Amino acid sequence: MKIGFSTLALFMKSFEDFLDMATADGFQLVEILCEGPYWPRNILTQGEGLEVFSSYDVDVFLHAPTIDLNPASLNPGIREETMRQINETLELASIIGAKAITTHPGMIHRLEDRVREMGKYFAIETLKEANNYAEDLGVILSVENMPGRYAYFCNTAPEHSYFLEQCGCHGTVDLGHANTTNHPDSFLELERIYYYHLSDNNGNKDQHRALGEGTLDLNLINGIERGIIELNNYEDVLKSRNLLLQLAK
């Protein structure tokens, strides 16, 4: 398995810092969380420092902005801005040679079946259009599963599979999110999964604990080709990396 980490653990450091630490600590992958100072629109406008990515032998993924955005929003203005920011993330990925970007499938804020069905329709239409643009750019669009809550889309393996089929995109399986459902193993059976987010929790809440510190069945990780450790601090990233290396022996 190729192992990497999310820059969530190193928030506010530079691209060069991310890549230096990945190289020094033997990681093959990095996923850049495109929030705050790493907002794609700002980076694209500045257009500086992006040549650094060609100097490292590390596969780069991007996680599109999701804070305050929602492809399933009933508000067309929010959907349009969400689409714009996904597309900008795809453009940034194309420029720096990133392999894929991950985005969220959206959620609803009024917990009614009729609202959820409407939101599902809007989410799929938004993500389908984004995937068309991704294909034009030669970048993989990967939609992530969400925790086991009614408000979230892709909170079950069948719904995640449905989104991927309808949108024509790839998928990111977050095993921490999957662990909050009754059937985390079902997400491993999905087709078109490009990579995985790895973290642990108590089985009820998405806590981003180090691997081995929760209830996640670590046997689920066997056979995964690409895994991004997604934790809040780098010490836990290294602890989880070491556990993965032990499991692989």
> For residue range 163-191, what is the model confidence (pLDDT) as tens digits?
999 999 999 999 999 999 999 999 999 99
Give residue 99's pLDDT band: very low, low, confident or very high (50, 70, 90).
very high
For residues 206-227, average pLDDT: 97
Which CATH number characterizes residue 123's domain?
A: 3.20.20.150
Bridge-based pairing of strands 193-198 and 2-6 is unpaired
Please state at what angle helix 113-137 crosses helix 76-96, rounded to 10 degrees: 30
Nearest CA to 19 among 52, 43, 61, 46? 52
Q: Is the pLDDT of residue 100 over 90?
A: yes
Question: Is residue 142 helix, strand or coil?
Answer: strand
Nearest CA to 197 among 134, 242, 147? 147
Locate 229 and state its tokens: 């450790």
Give residue 48's pLDDT band: very low, low, confident or very high (50, 70, 90).
confident
The pLDDT value given to residue 234: 98
Q: Is the pLDDT of residue 249 over 90?
A: no
The pLDDT value given to residue 212: 98
Are the C-beta atoms of 190 and 162 separated by less than 8 Å?
Answer: no
Share of the chain above pLDDT 70, in %: 100
Per the structure, the count of domains in the chain is: 1
Give residue 23's pLDDT band: very low, low, confident or very high (50, 70, 90).
very high
Residue 130: partners with Cβ closer than 8 Å, 6 or more residues away: 71, 83, 86, 87, 90, 103, 141, 167, 169
CB atoms closer than 10 angstroms to residue 111: 10
Q: Is the pLDDT of residue 60 over 90?
A: yes
Nearest CA to 167 among 137, 197, 143, 195? 143
Residue 105, domain extent: 2-248
Tally: H helices and E strands in the chain: 7, 8
Summary mean pLDDT of the chain = 97
